[in-house]
Structure formats: structure tokens, C-alpha cells
């Protein structure tokens, strides 16, 4: 998951940063304001900097210091980027075990002196080892705040909710615990919110529904419980919703069909139940949909065929049943289709021949019947062109891949459901 969507986030970030660079002085005709220089020096003084990353922080003109950027109009510090650079090949968690990464960390208490920088728009302290305090909530001009992988065993300071202009907030990879604080609902300018890879363990806060400008929300890899709140359907601008790897329950609500701008929806690895509501067919912009490893049931509604932009569809390891609707042949952009480990039955519809872009097709461990050659079978229609990974085992298909089913509902029940749908 995440290829199309990460491009989207990058575009947003680039747009945001570019707008900021525009006002950052490069050819330093402006020079640093003395009080802001003092603030930065105090901030530096409170940090341990083993690798000497702040060695350029000397002399009068703080606008030329590494990681500092000033407005070319006012000379005010507008951006502070002290992210610990991690090797590109590492994920956030692998990095923690790398000695060079550890040495590059800035660690210690974030000094309240930072409040002297009251025109700061952009603050990135990510992948360091910082203790932050409520005072950060006074940086009223902040639009962009990245504290990912940098604050340990802490709670989100309540006063962060005073940052009413914040558009980007990243608190991922921080071992944050307890409920998602309701006060986040006051950050109504937020466009991107990443709380992934923490230990949030309560239900999804209703206050999130307040964030009507959200385009991207990532709550994945936590221990969230309970159902998705009904009001989440209000977030009609959402493009990316990631709730994977939690302990969420209950059905997909029909209100979610209101999220017609969604490009990526990942609900995998939870305990969701019930059928796919037909309203989901209204998510016609969707490119990636992952519902795998839940307890979903029922058949695929024919309205899903309206998702003609879909590239990746993962429904594996649920209790889906019934036939593949022939409308799925309209999903001609599909590159990955994984329906494995369900109780899908009946013949594979001929329309599947139209899926010319498929690279991965996994229909294994279902109860599909019939002859492959009359569905997708040889000569495979145009599927043949790009298919790199094909798995059809553990079905009742003939014409090449006949393997006796081991478990699942009885054949009779499966056949009944075929007639019921035909």
C-alpha cells in the first residue's frame, strides 16, 4: 500500500515547503534578529549534540546557521529543521538500533526559549530524543510540526491544541499511550495528521470528526478499539484513511460512502465485521483498498464495479462469500487482486478477462468452480500480458489447477449461494 498516496503527501509537503522557501533568505541581505539568535543559543545550550550537528551555530547571523531559515522580508526565523537524517534504506524503527543514527540524535529538554521565535511556521525535530513541554503550544504561528520518533514515553501536551493554524502534525513512532486526546479536535486547520505507530489504546475520538480540512489521517499501528464513529463520514475531503493494524470492530458504516475523495483506504488487520455496504461504490476515486484480515462477510456488492480507478484490492482472510460480480471486470486499472482465504464461490466471470493490467492475482483458498479456460483460463485473455504472480490453488477449478478443498463451508451451501445470486 501507499505508493500513490505517499506521492500525494510529498506533493503537499513540497508545496508547503516551497511556499516557505520562497520567503527564506538564501542570499543573506537580511540578518538575524538578536533576540531570536539568543533564543536559538539557549535552545542549543539545553541539548546534547554528540555528533556536533549544530557546529555551524556560531557567529552573528543565525539566518546562515544549518537548519535555520529566515524570512527575506523581515529577517525573522520562520523555519527550523533539525530532523535527524536517517539512512534512506531504514525505517524509523530500524534506525533506533543504528549507532550512527543514535549518535546523530539531539537529546534533552526543548527549551521554552524557543517561544522567542514567534514567527516560526515550520518546526521539525523528528527522529531525535527530545522532551517537549506545554510551552510549544505558544508557538502560535506554527503551520508544520513534526515530532515523529522524537518524544518518548510522553503524553501529547494538551497545549498543542492551541496551535490553531497547524496544518501538518506528525507524532508517529513515539510510544504515546492512552486515548487520543479530545483537544486535537481544536486543530481545525489540520490537513495532515499522522499518529501512527504509537500505543493509543482507547476508542477513536469523536473530536477527530471536527477536523473537516483533513486530507490525510493515519492512525495505523496502534491498539485502538471500538467502532469507527458515524461522524467520520463528515470528513468529505479525506484522500487517505489508514486505520490498519488496530483492534477496531463493528461494520463499515454506510456514511463512509460520503468520503468520495478517498484515494486510499486501509482497514486491514482489525476485527471489523459485517458486509461491504453498497454505498462504498460511491468511492469512485479509490486507488487502493485493503480490507484483508478482518471478519467481513457477505458478497461483494456490484456497485464496487464503479471503482474504476482501483489499482490494488486486497480482501483476503475474511469470510466473504458468493460470486465475483461481473461488474468487477470494469476495474481495468487493477494491478493487484487478492481474494484469497475467503469462501468466494461460483464461476469466475468472463469479464475478468478485461483486467489487462493485473500483475498479482490470488484467488487461492476459496470455493471457485468451473473451467479456467472459460473464465480467465488459457489463453488468459489479456491478463497473460503482465501477470507475474498467479495463485489459484485450493479451489474447485478444473482445466489446470484442480486441488481438493480442505476446509470452508460445504460445497452445497456454496452452490446454493451461486444460484441465489445468478
Ligand X SMILES: *[C@@H]1O[C@H](CO)[C@@H](O)[C@H](O)[C@H]1NC(C)=O
Residues at the site binding ligand X, with contacts judged by CB under 6 A: 9, 22, 27, 29, 42, 45-46, 72-73, 92, 109, 111, 126-127, 134-135, 137-138, 148-149, 159, 162, 170, 172-173, 177-178, 182, 185-186, 188, 192, 194, 201-202, 207, 210, 216, 218, 233-234, 254-255, 257-258, 278-279, 281-282, 302-303, 305-306, 326-327, 329-330, 351
Q: Which is nearer to ligand X, 343 or 355 (by Cβ)?
A: 355
Least distance to ligand X, CB of residue 179, Å: 8
Question: Which position's Cβ is nearest ligand X?
Answer: 185
Q: Report the distance separating Cα 71 and Cα 61, nearest Å.
A: 13
Least distance to ligand X, CB of residue 335, Å: 19
Least distance to ligand X, CB of residue 394, Å: 27
From 148, 193, 137, select the one nearest 169 (Cα to Cα).
193
Least distance to ligand X, CB of residue 202, Å: 5
Q: Which is nearer to ligand X, 229 or 329 (by Cβ)?
A: 329
Least distance to ligand X, CB of residue 45, Å: 4
Which residues are CB-neighbours of 162 under 8 A, at least 6 positions away? Answer: 137, 138, 140, 186
Q: Report the distance separating Cα 258 and Cα 415, nearest Å.
A: 35
Phi, psi of 53 (to 5 degrees): -70, -25
Supply the DSSP symbol for 399. Answer: S
Phi, psi of 320 (to 5 degrees): -65, 150
Q: Which is nearer to ligand X, 185 or 274 (by Cβ)?
A: 185
In this structure, the dihedral spanned by the alpha carbons of residues 131, 24, 214 and 222, taken in order and rounded to 10 degrees, is -30
Least distance to ligand X, CB of residue 120, Å: 14
Q: Which is nearer to ligand X, 4 or 182 (by Cβ)?
A: 182
Q: Report the distance separating Cα 133 and Cα 39, nearest Å.
A: 16
Q: Which is nearer to ligand X, 175 or 402 (by Cβ)?
A: 175
Q: Are 202 and 248 in contact (CB under 8 A)?
A: no
Least distance to ligand X, CB of residue 30, Å: 8
Q: Report the distance separating Cα 198 and Cα 220, nearest Å.
A: 9
Q: Which is nearer to ligand X, 281 or 408 (by Cβ)?
A: 281
Q: Report the distance separating Cα 332 and Cα 352, nearest Å.
A: 9
Q: Which is nearer to ligand X, 127 or 291 (by Cβ)?
A: 127
Q: Which is nearer to ligand X, 36 or 194 (by Cβ)?
A: 194
Angle at 228 between CA 6 and CA 224, to 5 degrees: 75
Q: Which is nearer to ligand X, 123 or 408 (by Cβ)?
A: 123
Q: Which residues of 363-399 are buried (b: 16+ CB within 10 A; e: fewer)?
A: bbbbbbbbebeebbbeebbebeeebeebebebbbbee
Q: Which is nearer to ligand X, 9 or 132 (by Cβ)?
A: 9
If one counts every other C-beta atom within 10 angstroms of the C-beta of residue 116, the result is 18
Phi, psi of 296 (to 5 degrees): -65, 150
Where does residue 391 fall: left (phi above 0), alpha (psi -120 to 50 degrees), or beta otherwise? Answer: beta
Least distance to ligand X, CB of residue 398, Å: 24
Least distance to ligand X, CB of residue 144, Å: 10
Q: Which is nearer to ligand X, 56 or 74 (by Cβ)?
A: 74
In this structure, the dihedral spanned by the alpha carbons of residues 289, 291, 297 and 303, taken in order and rounded to 10 degrees, is -10
From 341, 349, 346, select the one nearest 391 (Cα to Cα).
341
Residue 361: all three cell numbers together? 492475482
Residue 290: all three cell numbers together? 485493503
Amino acid at each position: 500500500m501507499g505508493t500513490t498516496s505517499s506521492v500525494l503527501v510529498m506533493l503537499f509537503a513540497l508545496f508547503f515547503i516551497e511556499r516557505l522557501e520562497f520567503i527564506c533568505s538564501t542570499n543573506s541581505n537580511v540578518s538575524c534578529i538578536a533576540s531570536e539568535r539568543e533564543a536559538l543559543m539557549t535552545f542549543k545550550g539545553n541539548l546534547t549534540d554528540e555528533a556536533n550537528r549544530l557546529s555551524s551555530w556560531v557567529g552573528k547571523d543565525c539566518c546562515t546557521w544549518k537548519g535555520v531559515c529566515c524570512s527575506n522580508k523581515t529577517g525573522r526565523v520562520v523555519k527550523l529543521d533539525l530532523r535527524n537524517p536517517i539512512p534512506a534504506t531504514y525505517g524509523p524503527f530500524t534506525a533506533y538500533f543504528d549507532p550512527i543514527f543514535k549518535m546523530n540524535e539531539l537529546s534533552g529538554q526543548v527549551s521554552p526559549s524557543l517561544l522567542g521565535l514567534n514567527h516560526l511556521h515550520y518546526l521539525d525535530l523528528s527522529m531525535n530524543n527530545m522532551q517537549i513541554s506545554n510551552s510549544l503550544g505558544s508557538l502560535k504561528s506554527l503551520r508544520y510540526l513534526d515530532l515523529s520518533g522524537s518524544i518518548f514515553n510522553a503524553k501529547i501536551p494538551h497545549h498543542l491544541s492551541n496551535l490553531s493554524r497547524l496544518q501538518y502534525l506528525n507524532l508517529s513512532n513515539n510510544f504515546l499511550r492512552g486515548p487520543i486526546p479530545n483537544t486535537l479536535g481544536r486543530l481545525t486547520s489540520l490537513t495532515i495528521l499522522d499518529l501512527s505507530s504509537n500505543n493509543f489504546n482507547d476508542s477513536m475520538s469523536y473530536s477527530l470528526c471536527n477536523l473537516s480540512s483533513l486530507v490525510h489521517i493515519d492512525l495505523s499501528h496502534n491498539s485502538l478499539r471500538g467502532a469507527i464513529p458515524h461522524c467520520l463520514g463528515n470528513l468529505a475531503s479525506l484522500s487517505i484513511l489508514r486505520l490498519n493494524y488496530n483492534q477496531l470492530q463493528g461494520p463499515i458504516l454506510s456514511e463512509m460512502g460520503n468520503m468520495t475523495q478517498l484515494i486510499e483506504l486501509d482497514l486491514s488487520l482489525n476485527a471489523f465485521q459485517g458486509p461491504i455496504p453498497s454505498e462504498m461504490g460511491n468511492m469512485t476515486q479509490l486507488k487502493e483498498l485493503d480490507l484483508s484480515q478482518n471478519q467481513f462477510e457477505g458478497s461483494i456488492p456490484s456497485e464496487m464495479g464503479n471503482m474504476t480507478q482501483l489499482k490494488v484490492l486486497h480482501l483476503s482472510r475474511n469470510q466473504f462469500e458468493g460470486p465475483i460480480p461481473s461488474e468487477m471486470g470494469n476495474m481495468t486499472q487493477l494491478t493487484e487482486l487478492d481474494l484469497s482465504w475467503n469462501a468466494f464461490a461460483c464461476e469466475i466471470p468472463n469479464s475478468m478477462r478485461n483486467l489487462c493490467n493485473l500483475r498479482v492475482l490470488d484467488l487461492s483458498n476459496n470455493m471457485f468452480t468451473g473451467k479456467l479456460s472459460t473464465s480467465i483460463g488459457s489463453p488468459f485473455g489479456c491478463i497473460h500480458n503482465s501477470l507475474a504472480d498467479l495463485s489459484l490453488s485450493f479451489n474447485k477449478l478444473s482445466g489446470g489447477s484442480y486441488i481438493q478443498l480442505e476446509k470452508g463451508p460445504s460445497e452445497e451451501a456454496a452452490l446454493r449461494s451461486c444460484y441465489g445470486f445468478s
